[in-house]
Structure 1
């Protein structure tokens, strides 16, 4: 089974209240091997919601207490993001999931880069809160931009 950011399967869970469908994943949306999950919703954040970015680092620094997640209204939503990430890890462990396909640049799910916490559109290398936690527990993370049909078929066959 593969964990997938729910927005990539067009679930209306993004901060804007919409999905962000990945065309390749949508071809396999009915596969029982794909498990959709949104850590931000699981953590109790509403949809729609104000956008949030990590301030002071990356997802790794969230877990070490050196960074926070702040929405564009100045509200600290670190606890909600951490709760959702922990629930995601529990789900992966329960279902023996070792691979996740996550939404790039998300403050939860970004696996290569995220926004820098200034709400200016500036990107910075690093992982989001959920991606960092999953990776720290040995789960292989792919972003939707990493996918090819060949890779996805291989992952689904495993």
Structure 2
């Protein structure tokens, strides 16, 4: 089973109540299970956008950075609770691969927004992506995938 950001499979769980529907991923949906760490952490849909302040997901997990929404509210706890719940699911189902939404404060695996709500990005991981990577889960973003890569990933599960 492959863990996938719920918004990538067409579910309207983004902060603005929309999705990031990805037709390539939907074609392989039978091998995937959808999650939204922010919803699992108790945040509403829709909700104000949030960005990491003074670091990335690793810093949030270390307690040296925070997650704040555009209204200035601290939503760090919800992001950590969501990441913990995703991690519990991953352990229970022995998940080894995740495909997460690029640039997300939860799911970004290489880049995240810089905390200024200006659209600028910095190198770093979202809170859930950082937790999964720490625990040995291979994390991709949808931007790193093409048909061949996805077929290779899915092939690992057909052989089990």
Task: Mark yes or no: TM-score above 0.5.
Answer: yes
- Correspondent of 2:148 among 147, 150, 154: 150
Partner of 2:74: 76
Partner of 1:28: 28
Partner of 2:58: 60
Partner of 2:113: 115
In the TM superposition, structure 1's runs of 4+ consecutive aligned residues that sit over 4 Å from their partners are none
- Correspondent of 2:44 among 36, 43, 46: 46
> Structure 2: how far apart are the matches of 1:156 and 1:91?
19
> Structure 1: how far apart are the matches of 2:27 and 2:62?
38
TM-score when normalising by structure 2: 0.96
Partner of 1:130: 128
Structure having the larger proportion of residues in helix: 2
- The runs of 5 or more residues in structure 1 that have no matched partner are none
Alignment coverage as a number of residue pairs? 156
Deviations 1:1-28 (A, max 9, x none): 1000000001010001011111210222
Pairwise CA RMSD? 0.6
TM-score when normalising by structure 1: 0.97
1:151 Cα deviation from its structure 2 partner: 1.1
- The runs of 5 or more residues in structure 2 that have no matched partner are none
